[in-house]
C-alpha cells in the first residue's frame, strides 16, 4: 500500500512540474482550454490545468526581419525590373497573430509583392531609381494597415536592390560616363578661367605697383631738386645778408657784379653786355693784373 501511495504522489508531482511554465523575456504563450482560446501568458511563472489547457503557440515579441527574394515588376514606361525587399516587423498581439491568418509570413510576402507591383506600376524608371524613400514610405503604410488584423506592426520597409535589364544598365553607365566627362570639362574650363583671372589680376597689381614705384621715385627726385634749389637760395640769401652786414664799398660791389657776369657767361655765351660802370672797373682790374705780372 505504501508503494502505491508513493508512486501516486510521484505521478502527481511530475504532472504538476510538467504543467509549470516559465515565460522568458520577449516571449508570449497563447494558451487554449479544450481547444478554445483561454489567455495569453506574459513574462513570469504560470501553471496550466493538466489535460485541459495547453500552450497552443509560443510567440516572439522581438522585431523580426523578413528578406524576400527579388520580384519582377513593370514600370509605367514598360521596363521590367527585379526588386527585392526587406520588411522589419514585430508581433504586437499574439492572439491575433495565432488566429488571425494561416501562415502569416507567406501572407506578408505575397502582400509585399503585390503592393510593390502596384506602386512601381505608377512610376517611370527614373522615378523608381531616385524615389526609394517615397516607395519605402508608401509600402510601409500599406503593409502596416493590412497587417493590423493579424496582430503585426510593420516598422520599416526597405528596397534592397533594384536591378533593371542589362541593356538599361549599359545605357545608364554610358549616360553616367558622359555626365562625368561633362562635369570634368566644366571643372577644367572653370579652372582655366580662374587661372586666367588670377594671372590678369597679378599683372594688374604688378602694373599698379610699378606705376606707384615710378611715381614715388619722381616725387622723391622732385623733392630732392626742390630741396637743393631751396638750399642754394638759402645760401645766396645768407651770402647777401653777410655782405649787407659787412657794409661793402661801391668798388667791392662792382667787383662782385663783374664776377657774377663772368659766372653767368660760364664760357658758353658768345656775347655779354656789361654796363659801362662795370666796364671801367674791369679795365682797372685788368691793368692791375698786368702790373702784378711784370
Q: What is the pLDDT of residues 226-266, one digit of tens each?
A: 888 888 888 777 777 776 676 666 655 566 666 665 655 55
- Residues of the chain with pLDDT below 50 are 282, 284-294
The whole-number pLDDT of residue 114 equals: 92
The whole-number pLDDT of residue 158 equals: 92
The whole-number pLDDT of residue 225 equals: 85
* Residue from 108, 26, 24 nearest 62 by CA: 26
Render 229-280 in DSSP notation, one character per residue.
HHHHHHHHHHHHHHHHHH---HHHHHHHHHHHHHHHHTTT-S-----HHHHH
The whole-number pLDDT of residue 152 equals: 94
CATH of the domain at 107: 3.30.479.30
Q: 104 with 194, same domain?
A: no
Q: Count CA atoms within 13 Å of residue 212 on its CB side.
A: 6
Kindly report the pTM of this predicted structure.
Answer: 0.57
The whole-number pLDDT of residue 147 equals: 93
Q: 43 with 89, same domain?
A: no
Picking from 247, 266, 281, the residue at the C-terminal end of a domain is 247
Q: 204 with 262, same domain?
A: no
* Residue from 96, 103, 123, 88 nearest 40 by CA: 96
How many distinct structural domains can be found in the chain? 4
Torsion of Cα atoms, 177 then 180 then 185 then 190, to 10°: 180
Locate 195 and state its grid cell.
Answer: 587661372
The whole-number pLDDT of residue 156 equals: 93
Q: 213 with 149, same domain?
A: no
Instruction: Please identify which residue in the block is written with the cell numbers 560616363.
Output: 177
Picking from 164, 191, 222, the residue at the C-terminal end of a domain is 164
For the stretch 92-123, pLDDT in tens is 999 999 998 888 889 999 999 999 999 999 98
Q: 135 with 172, same domain?
A: no
Question: Do 23 and 29 form a contact (C-beta atoms < 8 A)?
Answer: yes
Q: Where are the alpha helices (DSSP H) in 131-165?
A: 132-147
Q: 184 with 230, same domain?
A: yes
Q: Which residues contact 42 (CB under 8 A, 6 or more apart)?
A: 23, 28
Locate 136 and state its grid cell.
Answer: 519605402
Picking from 117, 132, 164, the residue at the C-terminal end of a domain is 164
**Would residue 77 be called left, alpha or beta, if left means φ above 0 and alpha means ψ between -120 and 50 degrees?**
alpha
- What is the extent of the structural domain holding 118? 64-164
Locate 49 and state its grid cell.
Answer: 490545468
The whole-number pLDDT of residue 268 equals: 57
Amino acid at each position: 500500500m505504501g508503494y502505491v501511495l508513493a508512486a501516486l504522489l510521484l505521478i502527481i508531482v511530475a504532472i504538476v512540474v510538467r504543467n509549470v511554465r516559465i515565460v522568458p523575456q520577449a516571449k508570449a504563450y497563447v494558451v487554449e482550454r479544450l481547444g478554445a482560446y483561454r489567455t495569453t501568458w506574459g513574462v513570469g511563472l504560470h501553471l496550466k490545468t493538466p489535460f485541459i489547457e495547453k500552450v497552443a503557440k509560443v510567440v516572439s515579441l522581438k522585431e523580426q526581419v523578413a528578406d524576400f527574394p527579388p520580384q519582377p515588376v513593370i514600370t509605367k514606361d514598360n521596363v521590367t525590373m527585379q526588386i527585392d525587399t526587406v520588411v522589419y516587423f514585430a508581433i504586437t498581439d499574439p492572439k491575433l497573430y495565432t488566429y488571425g491568418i494561416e501562415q502569416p509570413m507567406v501572407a506578408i510576402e505575397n502582400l509585399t509583392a503585390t503592393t510593390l507591383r502596384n506602386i512601381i506600376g505608377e512610376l517611370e524608371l527614373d522615378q523608381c531609381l531616385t524615389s526609394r524613400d517615397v516607395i519605402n514610405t508608401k509600402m510601409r503604410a500599406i503593409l502596416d494597415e493590412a497587417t493590423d488584423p493579424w496582430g503585426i506592426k510593420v516598422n520599416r520597409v526597405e528596397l534592397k536592390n533594384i536591378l533593371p535589364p542589362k541593356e538599361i544598365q549599359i545605357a545608364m553607365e554610358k549616360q553616367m560616363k558622359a555626365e562625368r566627362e561633362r562635369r570634368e570639362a566644366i571643372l577644367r574650363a572653370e579652372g582655366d578661367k580662374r587661372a586666367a583671372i588670377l594671372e590678369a589680376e597679378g599683372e594688374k597689381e604688378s602694373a599698379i605697383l610699378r606705376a606707384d614705384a615710378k611715381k614715388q621715385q619722381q616725387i622723391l627726385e622732385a623733392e630732392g631738386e626742390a630741396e637743393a634749389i631751396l638750399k642754394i637760395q638759402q645760401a645766396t640769401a645768407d651770402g647777401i645778408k653777410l655782405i649787407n652786414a659787412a657794409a661793402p664799398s661801391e668798388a667791392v660791389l662792382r667787383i662782385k657784379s663783374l664776377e657774377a657776369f663772368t659766372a653767368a657767361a660760364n664760357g658758353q655765351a658768345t656775347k655779354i653786355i656789361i654796363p659801362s660802370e662795370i666796364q671801367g672797373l674791369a679795365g682797372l682790374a685788368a691793368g692791375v693784373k698786368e702790373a702784378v705780372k711784370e
